[in-house]
Structure 1
């Protein structure tokens, strides 16, 4: 059991600050983030050249320490020594919130184990920013970060998450998005999904549709820039209707009604009523089928 009083404590140690940086637009840097970076003794940067440009823009002269996945193991003891000596550190990633896609989490765990205060500043997060404008259900959601690169590993990953109801958020290279969507389509079926690219930048773009529609669009319009994929979780009601549609061939019956002269929505209403199914669920199943 441990209780951290971030701003009212009596610790003789320094504080580890987790400071978010912009994910594209420099105006998303907060006043508090700038002030914190000016006041700490050291900035632990994923890429000192990249962070150096940010520091120069905001006229921050604090010294940097290189801290990334390739040197974290050897650097963490030295960083803990600085904190124990009373110096404060700020850890930043190249973009967004630190401690997610960088070794910051290992530093956080090590600091907590030594009873050193860890203070997180709120700020830009690509996954959450994209999610709330995606049009997909923002709650509940799961953030997974980067996916396995090999097709077999991806499909196994998706198969394991197939029945999850939560909206799922992934980071992906623009060169692999189409292949990833094809693997996703094979396992998940044709769910609603969104591809987001160049978030907060001048070419920011949301591509919203079904997975198959996104694949077709990307085939004609190759992607550039940093990308996210957001995909709907399993819709239990829709899955049930699709299963019932398979059992009694509901969708074929709708097609037959349309061929006999009914408009699609009238056919859906007729079949839903006949088989005592939810009309909206049948509508979604009919219009979202492959």
Structure 2
């Protein structure tokens, strides 16, 4: 029987791509392995060369930097792949956290895999996991949705689709939009328990915990600044019962979801049924039964 050394890197005879996690704020939050890889790599691809240079300077690392961001990845990805095919070892970093998590990089990874170039993750900090761990929200299951759409109408439709979600929801939001986002989440998802994490690991780190209504009030009194993660807890059991008591008929709610949230009829029925604590089959039967009753009434008239 042979033993393996867990500290050894995967052996590659050609170039490779390292996905290196970098600090989300505090520069001490970087692994020893990440520092070693950054020192050994031939080139570092990064969102903002000036931002990454500050990290490298702090640790005395001197390596060539090349920009890789959403505006140039269409042309830059093939260039990097050619370099790796010729033997270069390249590290991809984002401005903060793990690459590809709400950051560019997927095109490059996909192209590497297509060309059989090894892709090696170097785990590091993550704002969503750091925020979730200290939020107080259930963490056994969660859904990360990244950034919601910037436009209010599209954002509301995205929130409507999340109404059926029973797991903890994690999203990123820009400081100038977060107050409006919280108000819309309150109106669509209900007054759930939530946590707004701001500037995690940085000097002004802050966690605002409470109901969405309380967080909305806090934001009205003092607008948020910096990097923001919003964690919204699952709906309380009583919420579904309160919604089921609504005077709005099930059929009317389905039509509302189709037109406002731009859901297809199957998705709308599933969501409306979930809101009322019904199975989709029971909801369908209720709608069909209601229509049959309407037809009979019309025939009698």
Which category of TM-score, normalised to the shorter sequence, fits these structures? 0.7 to 0.9
Partner of 2:27: 26
Partner of 2:144: 143
C-alpha separation in 1, matches of 2:225 and 2:86: 46
SS in structure 1 of the partner of residue 78 of structure 2: helix
1:218-243, Cα deviation, whole Å (9 max, x unpaired): 111221211111101334x3334435
CA contact (8 A) 1:196 1:228 kept: yes
- Superposition RMSD in Å: 1.7
Shift of 1:176: 1.0
Q: 1:106 to 1:244 in 2, by over 3 A?
A: closer
Number of residue pairs aligned between Structure 1 and Structure 2: 240
Partner of 1:156: 157
1:185-208, Cα deviation, whole Å (9 max, x unpaired): 111111111111010011100000
CA contact (8 A) 1:16 1:91 kept: yes
> Where does the alignment leave 5 or more consecutive residues of structure 2 unmatched?
1-7, 248-301
CA contact (8 A) 1:47 1:94 kept: yes
C-alpha separation in 1, matches of 2:80 and 2:183: 44
1:118-161, Cα deviation, whole Å (9 max, x unpaired): 01111100001100110001121111111111111111001011
TM-score of the superposed pair, with normalisation by structure 2: 0.76
C-alpha separation in 2, matches of 1:138 and 1:175: 27
C-alpha separation in 1, matches of 2:91 and 2:122: 10
SS in structure 2 of the partner of residue 171 of structure 1: strand
SS in structure 1 of the partner of residue 28 of structure 2: helix
Shift of 1:209: 0.6
SS in structure 1 of the partner of residue 92 of structure 2: strand
Partner of 1:239: 239
Q: 1:61 to 1:194 in 2, by over 3 A?
A: same
C-alpha separation in 1, matches of 2:243 and 2:101: 38
C-alpha separation in 2, matches of 1:129 and 1:198: 11
Partner of 1:88: 89
CA contact (8 A) 1:163 1:233 kept: no
Partner of 1:37: 38
Partner of 2:112: 111
1:4-29, Cα deviation, whole Å (9 max, x unpaired): xx9555x5321100001100000101
SS in structure 2 of the partner of residue 142 of structure 1: strand
Partner of 1:124: 125
TM-score of the superposed pair, with normalisation by structure 1: 0.79
Shift of 1:101: 2.2
SS in structure 1 of the partner of residue 224 of structure 2: coil
> Where does the alignment leave 5 or more consecutive residues of structure 1 unmatched?
1-5, 248-290
SS in structure 2 of the partner of residue 203 of structure 1: coil
Shift of 1:89: 0.4
The answer to whether structure 1 residue 224 and structure 2 residue 225 are counterparts is: yes
CA contact (8 A) 1:166 1:232 kept: yes
CA contact (8 A) 1:163 1:234 kept: no
C-alpha separation in 2, matches of 1:106 and 1:98: 12
Partner of 1:177: 178
Partner of 1:55: 56
Partner of 1:16: 17
